[in-house]
Structure 1
């Protein structure tokens, strides 16, 4: 797809927890004639959706297979542990994995954190989804470690969360299918998430650079400048008078009578 074959809309996929609102708002301001369609997709299915053309670009979680997909890291999320409000962890500002050693920590199948070894003790079965794990935490079955955005997404009045130190963190990225050149609308969205201005040299809405105006040189007169001295006190007459004064002075000295011995 090239700039000459632009689609009538731009399809942006996003995984749970990611909020594309601010970027969508900028898009609508800059390209009001190109509707942006949001496509929510589970994190595990986002890459296949991009490969099969189900979306033009996607806000996904790293890692991304760079074989056929491009990606730009955007930000890193804090990892938190979700607990019941009356749990002892709720009384502290931050908790470490060592402090959860005796706790059952749920590890759902759609977990987005790259654990070498999850903290705490494993449950007998892994929940199918993060939403299922949240329900189990509310039932007092165990705790759950997730990116902070997912804890907010699944907020409940009877649950809270605290930062979990020294653990993997989830990184959010913008990804799109590799193509040469990058489609114009994808390039436009890349510019938006990177904070480029509307007058950037890239993107569909860029204003072409204007040639600089050349400074005007002062017009030359048709008459050459008269550098010869003018008549008057400063002209040739004045110079002649000055020479005459010198000659008179020298003449008066020559005509002085000599002293006789």
Structure 2
């Protein structure tokens, strides 16, 4: 390899709550010679990382500004409220935002939900991160409404969570710079969309093969041997039926 050649690689960003291990495993099986590097990013900085060239593609939360980014929505998460295990909410299978009206509901600065009107009573201060808010819930300061994957990410034995039926939902999307839709990006899109390795868009590109010379339509005709005319009988010298054999002349009596 010369100094000007660069070994191919793929950089994948992902926001908290997303678990890309399944897609990474398939990538390693299909493209073992192309290393994939995972880049954890916050939900707020994910779009800027892609625009700045810090990653080739990334899993992020919608909505985003799609001016120069392409995005494929993948799935929608259930929204849950995180509460202490001895809280009244823990006895229910599901709650509404109205059920939280009398509780302090924490609103961290990295909140990923697009609220029109936040439930519950606001806290005196907003926690810096979701992780900080979870610690406050464990301390009995308030409750926290988040996508279910974040509740699982910050799981504690003394906390539990329940679905909130009328809360805004969070959607996860695969995104990449619109002008940088490379072959490797297409490969990863195929993996995420479930294309098989035999799919025309799910397998690595193959180098072009040399074109084979195609025979003429109807088959090529052989040239007649030198000194012989095509279609003529070599003995009769004509193209007509073969002449009969001449017999011996009869003797006169």
Give the TM-score normalised by the residue count of structure 1: 0.75
State yes or no: 1:175 paired with 2:179. no
Structure 2 Cα separation of the partners of residues 33 and 101 of structure 1: 55
Query: Could you tell me whether the CA contact under 8 Å between 2:71 and 2:175 is conserved in 1?
Result: yes
Instruction: Determine the structure 2 residue equivalent to 1:190.
Output: 189
Structure 2 Cα separation of the partners of residues 176 and 123 of structure 1: 37
Instruction: Determine the structure 1 residue equivalent to 2:204.
Output: 205
Structure 2 Cα separation of the partners of residues 205 and 118 of structure 1: 47
1:81-230 residue pairs with structure 2 within 5 A? 81-179=81-179, 182-203=181-202, 205=204
Structure 2 Cα separation of the partners of residues 196 and 204 of structure 1: 9
Query: Could you tell me whether the CA contact under 8 Å between 2:105 and 2:142 is conserved in 1?
Result: yes
Unaligned runs of 5+ in 1: 209-261
Query: Could you tell me whether the CA contact under 8 Å between 1:109 and 1:129 is conserved in 2?
Result: yes
Counterpart secondary structure, 2:32: coil
Counterpart secondary structure, 1:175: strand
Q: Which has the larger radius of gyration?
A: 1
Shift of 1:206: 5.4
Instruction: Determine the structure 1 residue equivalent to 2:76.
Output: 76
Shift of 1:139: 0.4
Counterpart secondary structure, 1:94: coil
Shift of 1:205: 1.7
Unaligned runs of 5+ in 2: 208-253
1:37-76 residue pairs with structure 2 within 5 A? 37-76=37-76
Structure 1 Cα separation of the partners of residues 94 and 7 of structure 2: 48
Query: Could you tell me whether the CA contact under 8 Å between 1:185 and 1:203 is conserved in 2?
Result: no
Shift of 1:7: 5.4
Structure 2 Cα separation of the partners of residues 7 and 133 of structure 1: 43
C-alpha RMSD of the superposition: 1.7
Instruction: Determine the structure 2 residue equivalent to 1:29.
Output: 29
Counterpart secondary structure, 2:172: strand
Query: Could you tell me whether the CA contact under 8 Å between 1:104 and 1:142 is conserved in 2?
Result: yes
Counterpart secondary structure, 1:24: helix
Give the TM-score normalised by the residue count of structure 2: 0.78
Query: Could you tell me whether the CA contact under 8 Å between 2:191 and 2:202 is conserved in 1?
Result: no
Structure 1 Cα separation of the partners of residues 7 and 170 of structure 2: 32
Shift of 1:134: 0.3
